[in-house]
């Protein structure tokens, strides 16, 4: 297959951000498929005046166009970035050509170039849903304008209606899309996965990292790896560190990431007297350096604001990274992800509202060697037996082949 893989936020391990598309694309390429990623060059490394640059990344051809984006941008500037990329990506996909278009959101505007290219090339489009947009911004009150909500909902339906098949990353997302009227047989779940070999690498690099940090050493460490955005509620972690300090002053917290809430988090940590005392802000790092922090962690943290639309369908990249590193996941929210971790004995849930109780529970967990050994073993079992990325790539490959066969045979699904 020649696959046109559209993802505005594509990242390699040398970059910060999720690498699901990179991991899937390189596995498809290794199986003999001609994979072309069409993405944005957010770092602005294209030559002046150039609309595109092309690189080879582990057997994958990547087409980069300079469209600046970061999560500190205003929503109006984000919309401009989305539309700019959508126009360029559609034209590029048509010129490259292929047997199938595989588009992954967010942003939902990725559907515009995907459908345009698929129609022009007369090939199927498979649409991957990573976030239920616009449901989330509407329910959070971020998207209030009546006209814009109407446009966003129309765009969502447009994406689904024009897809030969829909891929989601969590069971709850599939349930939501099926409830909108789409056949269950036309919606699949292929979650983010875990990489074999990450456990050993993480252990070795984690030990080295601990030895290099005087504030850490052999102390218990709770690590949060991810964005500091509106949905994460990372102020919870700062307050958790403040409540933990008088209970057990040896427990350390680390925030590995960046985002629009960074300044607020830093200021709150300073005001509560925990910054560089028991809470340390590392900032954004390349994905390739994440295993060091996971390996150094006693537990990892999953933080989400207490909004049902945010946590009920969550299965995050960092959740799977933590499993791959054999580390327990401690969450401050319910939902699919927490159900998986707690059900397997690979994690625990903290109270989202009673932070003193959450601090006491966390100290109990990181000081319980028996629980830690069992939780680490359970995490590793989940990574190897249920969420191995090689197996998930095989599922995706088979799905894409079936989509092409169905499209070419004329047996297209009925669209609601």
Read off the pLDDT of each residue in 302-315 and give the average, rounded to a whole number. 82
Average pLDDT, integer, range 379-408: 96
**Token digits for 216?**
């850490």
Question: Residue 83 has what pLDDT?
Answer: 87
Q: Residue 45: its pLDDT value, please?
A: 55
Look at residue 370 and tell me whether its pLDDT is greater than 90.
yes
- Residue 73: partners with Cβ closer than 8 Å, 6 or more residues away: 81
Report the pLDDT value the prediction gives residue 26, as an integer from 0 to 100: 98
Q: Give the percent of the chain with pLDDT over 70.
A: 95
The residue with tokens 């992800």 is 337
- Torsion, Cα 151 156 160 161, to 10 degrees, reads -20
121-130, 254-263, 308-317, 335-344: lowest mean pLDDT where? 308-317
Q: How far apart are CA 230 and CA 236, in angstroms?
A: 12
**CA distances to 19, 174, 272, 341 from 184, in Å:** 27, 8, 49, 26
Residue 373: pLDDT over 80: yes
User: 42 pLDDT exceeds 90?
Assistant: no
CA atoms within 13 A on the CB side of 298: 23
**Do 198-386 and 2-193+388-409 fall under one CATH topology?**
yes
Asked which of 4-18, 135-149, 165-179 is least confident by mean pLDDT, the reply is: 135-149
What CATH architecture is 2-193+388-409? 3-Layer(aba) Sandwich (3.40)
pLDDT at 305 (0 to 100)? 87
SS3 205: helix
Higher pLDDT, residue 135 or 199: 135
Is residue 43 scored above 90 in pLDDT? no
Domain boundaries of the chain, sorted by first residue? 2-193+388-409, 198-386
Average pLDDT over residues 364-387: 97
More confident residue, 128 or 171: 128
Closest by Cα among 90, 75, 77, 76 to 8: 90
Report CA-CA distances (Å) from 410 to 115, 123, 165, 172: 18, 11, 14, 30
Range of lowest pLDDT (64-73, 102-111, 211-220): 64-73
Rounded average pLDDT over 258-287 = 95
Phi, psi of 232, rounded to the nearest 5 degrees: -85, -30
- Position 49 scores a pLDDT of 56
Q: Is the pLDDT score of 116 beyond 80?
A: yes
Residues 342 and 349: beta-carbon distance below 8 Å: yes
The Cα–Cα gap between 133 and 7 comes to 15
Q: Report the Cα–Cα distance between both ends of the chain, in Å, rounded.
A: 28
When comparing pLDDT for 308 and 26, which is higher? 26
Pick the closest to residue 104 from 186, 191, 168 (CA basis).
168
Please provide the CATH number assigned to the domain covering 198-386: 3.40.50.2000
- Placement of tokens 């034209």 in the chain: 91
Q: Whole-angstrom Cα distance, residue 149 to residue 180?
A: 16
Q: Give the pLDDT confidence score for residue 416 in this predicted structure.
A: 62
Q: Do 337 and 331 meet the contact criterion of CB atoms below 8 Å apart? A: yes
């Amino acid at each position: 297959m020649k696959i046109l893989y559209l993802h505005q936020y594509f990242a390699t391990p040398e970059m910060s951000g999720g690498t699901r598309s990179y991991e899937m694309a390189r596995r498809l390429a290794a199986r003999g498929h001609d994979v072309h990623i069409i993405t944005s060059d957010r770092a602005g490394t294209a030559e002046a005046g150039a609309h595109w640059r092309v690189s080879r990344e582990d057997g994958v051809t990547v087409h980069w166009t300079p469209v600046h984006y970061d999560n500190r941008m205003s929503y109006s500037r984000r919309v401009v970035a989305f539309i700019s990329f959508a126009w360029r990506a559609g034209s590029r996909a048509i010129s490259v050509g292929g047997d199938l278009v595989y588009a992954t959101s967010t942003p939902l505007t990725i559907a515009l170039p995907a459908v345009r290219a698929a129609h022009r090339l007369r090939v199927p489009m498979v649409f991957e849903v990573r976030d239920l947009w616009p449901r989330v911004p509407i329910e959070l009150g971020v998207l209030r304008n009546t006209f814009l909500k109407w446009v966003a909902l129309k765009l969502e339906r447009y994406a689904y209606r024009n897809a030969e098949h829909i891929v989601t990353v969590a069971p709850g997302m599939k349930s939501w899309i099926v409830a909108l009227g789409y056949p269950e047989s036309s919606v699949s779940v292929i979650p983010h996965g875990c990489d074999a070999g990450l456990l050993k690498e993480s252990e070795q690099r984690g030990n080295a990292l601990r030895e290099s940090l005087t504030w850490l050493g052999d102390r218990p460490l709770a690590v949060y790896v991810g964005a500091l955005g509106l949905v994460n509620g990372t102020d919870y972690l700062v307050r958790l560190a403040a409540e933990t300090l008088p209970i057990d002053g040896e427990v350390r917290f680390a925030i590995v990431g960046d985002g629009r809430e960074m300044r607020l988090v830093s200021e709150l940590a300073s005001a509560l007297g925990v910054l560089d005392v028991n809470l340390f802000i590392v900032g954004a790092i390349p994905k390739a350096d994440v295993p060091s922090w996971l390996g150094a962690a006693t537990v990892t943290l999953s933080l989400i604001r207490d909004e049902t639309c945010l946590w009920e369908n969550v299965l995050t990249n960092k959740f799977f990274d933590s499993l791959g590193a054999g580390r327990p996941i401690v969450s401050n929210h319910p939902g699919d992800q927490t159900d998986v971790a707690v059900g397997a004995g690979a994690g625990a849930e903290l109270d989202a509202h009673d932070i003193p109780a959450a601090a006491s529970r966390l100290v109990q967990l990181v000081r319980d060697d028996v629980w830690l050994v069992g939780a680490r073993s359970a995490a590793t079992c989940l990574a190897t037996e249920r969420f191995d990325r090689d197996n998930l790539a095989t599922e995706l490959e088979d799905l894409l082949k079936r989509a092409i066969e169905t499209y070419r045979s004329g047996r297209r699904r009925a669209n609601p």
